[in-house]
Amino acid sequence: MISKKMLINGEWVDAVSGETLTTVNPATEDVFGEVPSSDKEDVDRAVAAARAAFPEWSAKPQEYRSNVLNQIAAKIRAQAGEIAHLAAQEHGMPEKLGFGPTMGAAGNFEMAAVYARATGGELIKSVKTNVMYCFDRVPIGVCALIIPWNLPFFLMAQKIALCISMGNTCVVKPPSINSVIGLKLAEIVDSVEGLPKGVVNVITGPGGRTGNLLASHPGVDAVGFTGSTETGVSIMKAAAPTIKKVVMELGGKNPAIIFPDAPMHLALESLGHHQFFNCGQACGSPGRYYVHKSIFDEFVTRLTEVAKKQVIGDPTAPETTMGPMVSAEHAGKVMSYIESGINEGANLVIGGKRHGDKGFFIEPTIFTDVKEDMMIYRDEIFGPVAVITTWDDEDEVLRRANDNTYGLTASIWTTNIAHALKLGRRLTVGTFSVNGHNLIAPEAPWGGVRESGIGKEGGWQGVLEYTEQKMITINLDE
């Protein structure tokens, strides 16, 4: 078992109470790690450290801060293999696939280092000849960063990079399910020369307690959160009394609309990958497939072949493409959706069962004959479950694609690019892709509308989310 401490003000500490929580290897069900379980006193200490570090860090030249971010990125790249192995053990991400998000985490620090140096203010023309108006981009202050369990290292790196690049300080809460991964990033950050103590503080504990304490803390100026819409609502309520800024990337039930002239091989390669990558535990995974009736049978047959090729097993093994679900609780939730689909009359094409006698494994699953009132059609499943429907009227498929409380992302598959762009304008989503799914990178902003979130993560827009506009007015009279 791996035992870790929290990082507060540059020191590795236990919780004041001495309480701990354990994490589990989802492939073996064995205890994997033990970390502190923080409470109010720990949160107070961490916020105070971040508050004390803010004046020095925010006053550093931007070149200095960007250099620190680039150092963090270099250390992540140097330890990428170790990080991917750790993620396989505590999270269940196949090790060979976990290498990509780890390198992407480094890319987020490099991206933020560049964009922060290019971020400036703006001169505003005035109708008054004796007055000049301009605004500057300034850091918000102390930010609470609350991380989800589905891509913990990548998303923790992204939030820290965006936050501290412009001079903010932060208190980070990794997910309780895979806290050891989060504390690994804390070790990397702490090892970098030139980062003052207290700029990045990492505390562990249950979300319902530690997360809410952070969101409601009067010493926190903004909250960055990725996770479920339900948890997002709770965090907004906690943040509301002190009017904190919130940046949230929440759930999705993402439509993929496939036309008769779609590049079929490309659609199957991309959608199949994203459907079963990380066991479908990704907010941007395909949530609802709308396949034109003329190619419906072919698409289902070929996606089924993609599902059959998934190799389920030990996430540290090189041949594995699908590891376990992250926890027993979440595996049970996904199985309840599968059972509801069967009970409500959907056609189970493949899968639908647990895999093996140990670990939280679920088979790749595909449903057809899905009706709009079924739970598997309406809700975000967050698992390796494809929900496929058919269509033949474009206006009707657009209505169905938009008829959901979410609005994260969508993909459109056709060789008529102009038509796809026109169609995409009518989709109520934060992002849509043409002949690709989730074509994202560190420089590309990401975020949804409606119940899928507030604000953007990534890219220049993501850097700006962690700033405020400070107006400056100048009287030119002598």
Residue 443 is predicted with a pLDDT of 86
Candidate list 143, 163, 170, 283, residue with the active-site label: 283
Whether the CB-CB separation of 221 and 245 falls below 8 Å is answered with: yes
Residue 436 is predicted with a pLDDT of 93
Domain ranges of the chain: 2-250+452-472, 254-441
Q: What is the pLDDT of residues 267-317, one digit of tens each?
A: 999 999 999 999 999 999 999 999 999 999 999 999 999 999 999 999 999
Whether the CB-CB separation of 115 and 460 falls below 8 Å is answered with: yes
Classify burial at 105, counting beta carbons within 10 Å of its beta carbon; exposed 0-12, middle 13-18, buried 19 or more: buried
Mean pLDDT of 400-413: 97
Q: What CATH number does domain 2-250+452-472 carry, 2.30.30.40, 3.90.1140.10, 3.40.50.300, 3.40.605.10? A: 3.40.605.10
Q: Where are the beta strands (DSSP E) in 227-377?
A: 245-249, 254-258, 286-292, 347-350, 365-368
Mean pLDDT of 111-121: 91
Rounded to two decimals, what is the model's pTM?
A: 0.96
Mean pLDDT of 24-30: 97
Is there a catalytic annotation at residue 134? no
Is there a catalytic annotation at residue 249? yes
User: What's the angle, vertex CA 80, arms to CA 78 and CA 84, rounded to 5?
Assistant: 160
Q: What is the pLDDT of residues 47-96, one digit of tens each?
A: 999 999 999 999 999 999 999 999 999 999 999 999 999 999 999 999 99
CATH topology of domain 254-441: Aldehyde Dehydrogenase; Chain A, domain 2 (3.40.309)
Quick one: which of 117, 186, 114, 118 has its CA closest to 152? Answer: 186
Using 50, 70 and 90 to split pLDDT, how confident is the model at 325? very high
Candidate list 249, 363, 380, 457, residue with the active-site label: 249
User: What's the angle, vertex CA 182, arms to CA 275 and CA 30, rounded to 5?
Assistant: 75
Using 50, 70 and 90 to split pLDDT, how confident is the model at 350? very high
| DSSP per-residue letters across 14-53 | --TT--EEEEE-TTT--EEEEEE---HHHHHHHHHHHHHH
Residue 124 is predicted with a pLDDT of 87
Whether the CB-CB separation of 342 and 348 falls below 8 Å is answered with: yes
- Residue with tokens 């590795």, as numbered in its chain: 12
